[in-house]
Amino acid sequence: MPPFLTVKNVSRSFGRNRVLRDVSLSIEAGRLVGLVGENGSGKSTLLKIITGMLKPDRGEVALSAKMGYCPQEALLFEQLTVLEHFRCFAAGYNLPDGEWQRRMEELLTHFRFKNHLRKQVAHLSGGTRQKLNLSLALLHQPDLLILDEPYAGFDWETYLHFWDYAEAQIGAGRSILVVTHFLSDQSKFHQIFDLKNGMLT
């Protein structure tokens, strides 16, 4: 089986500022991987290239699996309810009714926010918004989940339930990439990449 994600010799500059310098990495099935970097290390640029929001100057990115992306800033609509968000994202993922409704029930139950199903996002707490943000990224059951600074919005309960869910996903052969400036619980990770000055160490 090919790696879920392969980044090969990726470089990117903005004017004279070389942000990424010949970056290569790969993520196999069933792996929990960390990508750590301080502000200005090139972490955000690499993430945009991996998720297809930005093209590299050189190099290539190959994805051989279904990807889910959970951004740091939740892409939510204040006037829509939690249920309406699930319905909209299900349409975007092209999921049939029975499938997305079953997945929604699983996620609502696991992350414990089923009682907020019919509430507008405008009335949700920050922690519940992050639960929804994560659940929408997981709705189509991606093979590779990419999390951008996930700990910033997690309350303690969500943090614990995330690790429970992550362990189950890894055990099922799926993979998770955590992109952050600070990585806790390093012993849980199969591999950690450190990005400094646009290069992996």
Summarize pLDDT for 122-171 with one digit per residue, the tens. 999 988 999 999 999 999 999 999 999 877 777 788 888 888 999 999 99
Whether 73 is in a domain gets the answer: no
pTM attached to this predicted model: 0.93
- Whether 104 is in a domain gets the answer no
Residue 1: CATH number of its domain: 3.40.50.300
**Could you tell me if residue 71 is inside a domain?**
no
- Within a domain: 11: yes
For residue 58, is it within any domain?
yes
Question: What is the DSSP annotation of 58-112?
Answer: EEEEEE-S-EEEE-SS----TTSBHHHHHHHHHHHHT--HHHHHHHHHHHHHHTT
Number of domains comprising the chain: 1
Whether 149 maps to a domain, the answer reads: no
pLDDT tens for each residue of 55-112: 999 999 999 999 999 998 888 999 999 999 999 999 999 999 999 999 999 999 999 9
| Domain that residue 42 falls in | 1-65+177-201
